[in-house]
Amino acid sequence: MTDSRVERSATEAARIPLSPRYGRGWLAALIASVLMVLVLAYVIAELVVAGIGIWGTNIPFVWGFDLSNYVWWIGLANGCSLFAAILVLRRHSLRTAINRFAEGLALFAVICAAIFPLFHLGRPWLFYWTFPYPATFQVWPQFRSPLTWDFWAIITHLIVTTMLWYVGLLPDLATLRDRARTPVARRVFGSFALGWRSSVRHWAFHQRAYRLVAIAVIPLALVIQSTVAFEFAITLVPSWHETRLPLHYVVSGLESGLGLILLAAAALRGSLRGIDRFIDDEDMNLIGKLLLANALVACLVYAGEVASALLAGPLMVEAILNRLVGHYAGLYWGAIALSVLLPQALWSSRMRRSNPAGILIGLGVIAGIWLDRLSIIVGGMQRDYLPSTWRIYAPTQPEWALFLGSIGLFAAMFLLLMRFLPVVSMSETRHDEYREASS
């Protein structure tokens, strides 16, 4: 819808969003992901009608895919938004390339994450009981429970991530408005642009607000990751009952976020013609280095996990050994291999710059963290206090469907983003170009 303006424009930024013709690939991908969304809808309906008995969960495995997927998604979200926020604050050149879609990814991940805690309830239609409203039975939520903290965490995350994304997007919406051809598009973008006139005064306040929202995001991301960790850490389950768990979740969460960003960046470069002008090799190089560094930290955290467990007494030892060699050992070692060993490939700069490698490593890291979540939750619950209650858990089809469905939803939203909104920030790019020019 925007190509007509391209030749009129002198700046690189004018070429965003680029590649006017999104080929069949995009359409196919969209259709595929929409189908997955339909599956998601079906499973949710089934859940509400039949009950969560259709899952493989039981006593003691009261949680399975539901919580591990939630933890995984929220980790991705926190990773992305944390990273984006830091870039905004550092005013790092990388932000021009990454922020826009990083913030978008964060937002979509939160939406996917929110599905799970809602529908893992036995009676999901009563979810609002966790919100403090004046009910005629005069009972309030119980604020000592991490689940109530979690309720606030998800709502807040949703709102703040949206704001971070929107504030950054505002000037570009104005640009789209001014370039739009069809009156409808013009009006639509116009309404969302709120009448932005790119006045220097606007810019001044905009910059302040953007940075402040970013500042809010940083503690938020950290606290929310920790809150999620608390959900497990404050229980008595032997392999969860650890003060180190929040750290573990923050580190691995950020890593999965970086993995996702790497994946998305590489995928964009691979699919959108000309975008490598904006997400250039240098950017990829930087992301790669960051991910590598994060993987090394994660390695340290994993080591700490084993060490602290071994120091913590017989039950913990048994629990951790069970995760390492027990029925669910595959999950643990898979996590190590994918989230610690695989990123080591990024030591080579060729790998860092190659798109296929980026996609593979990004996917690998994300999958690795997913396995880590499953290993912690499912593998952790397996060795409880009374051996008489020990059992096995295996996910059922509906659980897989729910999981894949949420991925489909995520993919669909991202595909629409890259189609209708600039995937890298135009205004930031212009700004940089100006600075480079003036310096």
Partner 1 sequence: MTGEEDDGRPSDVTGSGPCETRLWRSLEELAGSEEVRRFGGAEFPEAATPETIDRRALLNLMTASLALGGLTGCAVNRQPWGAPLLAQPRLAPQHTPGVPLIFATSLELDGLGRGVLVRSHDGRPVKIDGNPLHPASLGGTDVFMQAEVLSLYDPDRSTVPMAGGMRRSWDDASLYVTQLSHQFQANAGRGLHILLEPCASPTRDRLIALARQTLPEARWYFHAPLTDGNTHVATARVFGRPLDPVLDLMQADVILTLGGDPLGAGAGHIRYAADYAQRRHARDRPLPRLYSAETSPSLTGARADHRLALPPREIEALARQVLDLVRNAAPPPAAPQSLAAIIAGDLRRAGAGGLVVPGREQAADVQAIAHAINVELGAVNRTVRYVEPIIQASTDQSSSLLALAEAIGRGVVDTLLILGGNPAYDAPGDLEFADLIGRVPSSLHLSYYFDETSRVCRWHLPARHALESWGDLRAFDGTAGLRQPVTVPLVEAMTAEDVLAQLVGEAGDGHAHVQATWREVWGEEFDARWPTALEDGVIAGSAAPAASLAAPVGWSPPPAGPPVAAGYSMVVFAPDPSVWDGRFANNGWLQELPKPFTKQVWGNAALMASDTASALGLATGDIATFTHGGRTIEAPIWIMPGHAPDAVTMTLGYGRRAAGRQGSQRGFDAYPLRSSRELWALAGVTIAANGRRDALISTQHHHGMEGRDIVRVVPATGPVNWPVEPRRSMYPDYVYDGNAWGMSIDLDLCLGCNACVVACQAENNVPIVGPDEVAQGREMHWLRIDRYFAGVPDAPETYFQPVPCMHCEKAPCEVVCPVNATVHSSEGLNEMTYNRCVGTRTCSNNCPYKVRRFNWFNYNQKPPAAPDAVQNPEVTVRWRGVVEKCTYCVHRISTARIAAKMEGRPIRDGEVMTACQQACPTRAIVFGNINDPDSAVYRCRENPRSYELLKDLNTRPRTTYLARIAGLGRGSVGGTR
Partner 2 sequence: MSRSDYGIVAEFASANGLLAATRAARDAGYRRLDAFAPFPLADVSVVLGHRTAVVPLIAATAAVVGGGLSYLAQYWMNAVDYPLNVGGRPLHSWPAFIPATIIVSALWLAAAAFLTMLFKCGLPRFSHPMFDVPGFERASDERFFLWVSSEDPAYEPRDVAALLQRQGAVAITRLEVTR
Partner 3 sequence: MVQLFRPQADTAFRLWVIASAVVVIIVLGAGYIYVRSDAFWRVGATAPMQPIPFRHDLHVAGVGIACAFCHSTAERAAHAGMPTAHACLTCHSQILQGATVMEPLRTSAALGTPIAWTSVTRLPNFAYFHHGVHIRSGVTCETCHGRVDQMRETEKVHTMSMAWCLDCHRNPAPNAVRTEPEGSAVEGSRDSLKVSEIFAAPLTNCSVCHR
φ, ψ at 382 (rounded to 5°):
-75, -35
Contact call for residue 130 and partner 1 (CB under 8 A) = yes
Q: Using CB under 8 A, pick the residue from 92, 241, 289, 431 that binds partner 2.
A: 431
Contact call for residue 6 and partner 2 (CB under 8 A) = no
- Among positions 227-246, residues that touch partner 1 (CB under 8 A) are 231, 234-237
Contact call for residue 391 and partner 1 (CB under 8 A) = yes
| DSSP type of residue 341 | I
We find the least distance from the C-beta atom of residue 231 to partner 2, in angstroms, to be 11
Q: Using CB under 8 A, pick the residue from 136, 138, 243, 439 that binds partner 2.
A: 138
What are the tokens at 219?
């503690």
Yes or no: say if 266 and 358 are a contact pair by the CB < 8 Å rule.
yes
φ, ψ at 282 (rounded to 5°):
-65, -40
Enumerate long-range contacts of 20-27, CB under 8 Å, 24 or more apart: 22/419, 25/271, 26/271, 26/415, 26/419
Yes or no: say if 58 and 391 are a contact pair by the CB < 8 Å rule.
yes
Binder of residue 397, out of partner 2, partner 1, partner 3, none (CB less than 5 to 8 A by kind): none
What are the tokens at 354?
């190659």
Contact call for residue 51 and partner 1 (CB under 8 A) = yes
Contact call for residue 142 and partner 1 (CB under 8 A) = yes
Q: What is the 3-state secondary structure (H, E, C) of 39-106?
A: HHHHHHHHHHHHCHHHCCCCCCCCCCHHHHHHHHHHHHHHHHHHHHHHHHHHCCCHHHHHHHHHHHHH
The Cβ of residue 250 has, within 10 Å, a number of other Cβ atoms equal to 24
Q: Using CB under 8 A, pick the residue from 32, 46, 141, 308 that binds partner 1.
A: 141
| DSSP type of residue 396 | -
Whole-angstrom CA distances from 417 to 30, 243, 412, 420 are 11, 39, 9, 6
Q: Using CB under 8 A, pick the residue from 42, 61, 166, 203 that binds partner 1.
A: 61
What are the tokens at 78?
């926190």
The Cβ of residue 336 has, within 10 Å, a number of other Cβ atoms equal to 19
Contact call for residue 111 and partner 1 (CB under 8 A) = no
Neighbouring C-alpha atoms within 13 Å toward the C-beta of 101: 32
Which range in 36-44, 110-118, 142-150, 357-365 contacts partner 2 by CB under 8 A? 142-150
Q: Where is 424: in which H helix or E strand?
A: none
Which is closer to partner 2, CB of 142 or CB of 389? 142
- Determine the Cα–Cα distance for residues 106 and 91; give it in Å rounded to an integer: 19
Contact call for residue 74 and partner 2 (CB under 8 A) = no
Q: Using CB under 8 A, pick the residue from 136, 182, 243, 388 that binds partner 1.
A: 388
What residues make contact with partner 3 under the rule CB under 8 A? 134, 136-139, 177-178, 186-187, 190, 195
Which is closer to partner 2, CB of 255 or CB of 432? 432
Which range in 175-183, 281-289, 316-324, 364-372 contacts partner 2 by CB under 8 A? 175-183
For the chain, give the number of residues. Answer: 439
Contact call for residue 191 and partner 2 (CB under 8 A) = yes
φ, ψ at 7 (rounded to 5°):
-70, -25
Q: Using CB under 8 A, pick the residue from 107, 114, 169, 213 that binds partner 2.
A: 213
Which is closer to partner 1, CB of 305 or CB of 384? 384
Whole-angstrom CA distances from 156 to 72, 109, 140, 182, 244 are 18, 14, 20, 36, 24
- Among positions 8-67, residues that touch partner 2 (CB under 8 A) are 9-11, 13-14
We find the least distance from the C-beta atom of residue 355 to partner 2, in angstroms, to be 29
Contact call for residue 241 and partner 2 (CB under 8 A) = no
We find the least distance from the C-beta atom of residue 237 to partner 2, in angstroms, to be 16
Contact call for residue 209 and partner 2 (CB under 8 A) = yes
We find the least distance from the C-beta atom of residue 51 to partner 2, in angstroms, to be 28
What are the tokens at 51?
């009950």
φ, ψ at 248 (rounded to 5°):
-55, -45
Applying CB under 8 A, which residues contact partner 1?
A: 50-53, 56-63, 120-123, 126-127, 129-130, 137, 139-142, 144-148, 151, 231, 234-237, 318, 381, 384-392
Applying CB under 8 A, which residues contact partner 2?
A: 5, 9-11, 13-14, 132, 138-144, 146, 148-149, 152-153, 155-156, 159-160, 163-164, 167, 171, 174-175, 177-179, 190-191, 194-209, 212-213, 215-217, 219-220, 223-224, 226-227, 230, 427-428, 430-431, 434, 438
